[in-house]
Structure 1
Amino acid sequence: MFSPALQVKAPQLVLEKQTVGLICETTCSLTDAFIWYKNGEALKIHSKTLQLQSERSDSGRYSCAVRGHEHLPSPAVSITLISLQVKAPQLVLEKQTVGLTCETTCNLTDAFIWYKNGEALKIHSKTLQLQSERSDSGRYSCAVRGHEHLPSPAVSITVVYPPQSTSVSISPSGEIVERDSVTLSCSSDSNPPAEISWFKEDTFLKYGDTYSITDIKSEDSGNYYCSARNKHGSQASAAVTVNVMYPPQNVSVSRNGSGEIVEGDSVALSCSSDSNPPAEISWFKEDTLLGSGDTYSITDIKSEDSGNYYCSARNKHGSQASAAVTTSAGKASESGDAENASVQDGRDTDTKKPEEEEIEYASITIHHPASEAK
């Protein structure tokens, strides 16, 4: 009598949604077709392997037989389908305590195994507690101890947080000279990424990670900062100072007082200039260097002090000379009448060396007191 040896090779526990194959093994060589049974009912599968997609309804007792020998089925094996999943929020706010739960239909759950990004953790309870540090972001799964080959599907945990460490950098670094191009960049650590706003002092400029200034001018000097904002909060950077360097401009000479100048008076000439860094001031009479400093003083003025006076302002980026102030000495009449003294200031807008300036003249008349009658 023919009696084939038959058995079903299959795992006892199958994770839901896991593809698994049941194999009908036999010593019979006349196996052109097989019969599969579930809970004693024949299935419409005639291959040696029965593939299951592991739906919950697939739990049951499975056996097989060689066609033509249906009265000699294999012993039945039980397939138990278990459901295993991690219950957790996808987004977690930094510093928020959150619990991940390993849910299963398996009743043989004396301990669990937790995984983060595929690496086993030293946690064996059903619930995994997180304090929600940034490093806690990742993919988490769990398994029943003893069935580590059947982990749950992984779920992603993302830790979100407001902007931090917001700062501004300037490119290129180093000294900024008029007409250069400068780019300010804002960096911020946040999740989700922050929206960046730019400000000069307290005036809004634009949105975006960078703020660029081309052909920079002296009026672009000032304090700039960025503000980073997402749905969880905002943070402003410290301000950075943009200090634009430029050569002297608007150089001019003024004198103290506005009345007539009489021989023996004292006169102070002052030089003003707009520049960055501040200019060094030099004083000239005609083409003769007199000295340096913001002012030039003449005490006990005499007729030989008459002449053309001007100042020159110079820094590392250029120079400019003022218009000249001309002093001319004239004697007063015996009646004591004298010409009035006046000053007219002019400006030269070109940046030149003092000897290259086209000097404009203003008149200062020095009066001699009338001689006493004898």
Structure 2
Amino acid sequence: MVGLCAHHRPFRCQLLMLFCLLHPGASDQARSTSSTPGEKALSIQGVRGSSVELDCRPGPAPVAVLWSFTPLGSLVLQPVAVTNGASSRVESWAKALGVVSLRNSSLVIEELREGARGHFLCQTLLVSGGQIHTTYLYLTLAVLVPVSKPRVHLSDPSPIEGVSVVATCAVREGTEPLTFSWHHHTPQGPEEFLVGLSEPRLQLDPVNRTHLGWYRCSVSNAVNQLSSDGAFLNVIYGPDKPVITVEPLGFAEDGFWASEREEVTLSCQAASNPPSHYVWFRDDAQVHTGPTYLIASASRTHTGLYTCLAHNSHLDTHTQTTVQLTIYYPPKGRPSCAVLPTLGGVTLLCSWPGGFPKAQLHWEGPQGNGPTAPSNVTWSYTATGLPNGSIFSCMGQHPTLATPVLCTVTLWEPPGSPTCWTTATVGDQFIMLSCEWPGGDPPAMLSWLDRQQTLGDPSSSPAVYLLQAQSDLAGREFTCQGSHPLKGPSSHCQLRLEAPQLAVAEPRVSVLEGEEAWLGCALQQGTPPAQLLWLGPQQQPLEQSTYGFVLHPEGTHLRLQVRDADPAHHRGTYQCVARNALGNSSQSVLLEVLSECKGCVCSCGYPAPPNVTISRLTYRRQRREVQLQWAIYGPGNLTGFLVQQRASVPGSEAGAWEVAARDIEPESRDRRLGGLDPGVLYAFRILAMNHHTAGHPSEVKTPVDPAFSVYPAVLGAAGTGMAVALVASLLVFQYAARHPHTLPCTETAAATSGSDPAQESTDAPVNVTITVTATPE
């Protein structure tokens, strides 16, 4: 055994000695079957902090195992652990390798340390065939260190755009080889991998705004991979030239436009870090601070130059941009269309002035499109073959309006034919010839002709021509010739200039004193306008303001009302005068005011005539004539009778009294009166006349239908009628005697003077006959 130990290293000797102690007498039989140190060692890798198992790979179970370790760079072999199968021992210094233990013949190292990097020798003793065998196994353990978390360092975290910046990725430890990768994450975008950069240094030369963001590096080796936290590179730049936008967006030739009363937003954006401060100016006057300028309701005063000033407070730099903002507004109202006649056609006019910019107008017709122009557009159109009712449209467009605005013109033929009339002007010095043909569109063209000679220029309806008033114009005829684009043959009207001609209602009018008189005259012919007026007995013009007279103009009639007729002031001849620019004419009316007696001798110097009563008043010939019979009673002289009538319509007031018959012979007691209207209710009364003195009017009666000629009925009624008439006559005389002021003419002139009637009266005696007419029921 001692010889054997001499040929082996101390550790082997220890192992052999251990073997000899366990197996006495076996020394002489020992054989060595070892692998030489020159043999290639097995390589094993372990990771620091983890565990690794070194296996001797024995065949049969060994008698003893001895593990030894030689650190890298050293030649000293140090025992680590030994085991004989029953017991084992680990050297205390082995803690430098980690937590070491034996598992059968394998050496297990947990919590591996970097000091375990080196060469391990495993020696085993085996007994086989009664001989001792020794085996050797060399192992090389490589301890790998994981990379630590890297850290990014920036040479300048806040550089100004354009300088050079270096980013360095530093790692404290890790087994090489190490692999580096760089990642860039901008604030607005996703993280990106910087391809081709596998170095621990990242050179940004020159740095620009696109480099702004977080930079992160990743380091990896055979064990692991770790990434750093992001390092923010804040690149300082700007401001760039501002960009101005306008909402709602409307581009004009020199800038932007917006509609009046619209909300307008002006936005300014200038790239800058740190962000820019903004100031707004309008025509060099500051109006706002901030990136957005809001105009709540735009008006025309907001038109101008808007400047946005961007300022970088860090660099103390600024830039600016100016734009033109124009406020558009449409014209007021709607387009107006008109059409004028021309020779053989029409001229279409469309106008829509105002607004900014000017509205574009465009004509469209039934046979195609017309011209286009701003504000005003005219289209000359040949109207040949156009049907009546053709429509032309003018379309107005403006940028501020969503839809076009239209006006239309419809061409119509004027109905009928022209109408002519005349008017006197400037105190009847001129005669205005007027002609109108209304209702057409365009209006008709009219021309005045005098014996085929054109007077003046043609004009649209109405057409007017002035003539100097002179007498030789009377009897002349003038023609108004009319034409229209849609109408074939021309139409015309004619007028004849005439001096006025008059007619009076009655040339003689009689009225009782104190009553109303009506004088009437009418213009029968003559060129209008003609002036009608009345002249009084003294040839003075009578007006509405003349006391006691009232004028009633009714078209071509002029009636004169004389109120409270007075013989001293109103009796006489009145003249109705008609005047026009071509001459004048007149007609006379004699007004008789009959005096009514106020006593037995009238103021006119004649005795009062007797009173009259109507005895019969009946219709004849379909109520167009009446038969009037009367009787007189009481004393008095008479020279004739006067019958008056008045008409009244049911439901209205009665008219004025008019003379129905005058100068009736004094011996007459009946009269047939004609010229009545069957639809009018008439009333009649009769007065006895003594020259110009009128007696008291009779009672008022209306005519009745004629009675049947039946004798018994007449005779039967006659007796009763005579009795009634006798009583009525007595009552009348008695009343007249007691009230002479009411019936003044019931007394004779002789009774008033106290003289004898027979001596005073020169007239023939008057017989009074009372006639009673009975009508059977």
TM-score w.r.t. length of structure 2: 0.24
Structure in which a larger fraction of residues adopt helix: 2
Q: In proportion to residue count, which structure has more strand?
A: 1
Question: Who wins on radius of gyration, i.e. which is larger?
Answer: 2
Query: TM-score, structure 1 length as denominator?
Result: 0.45
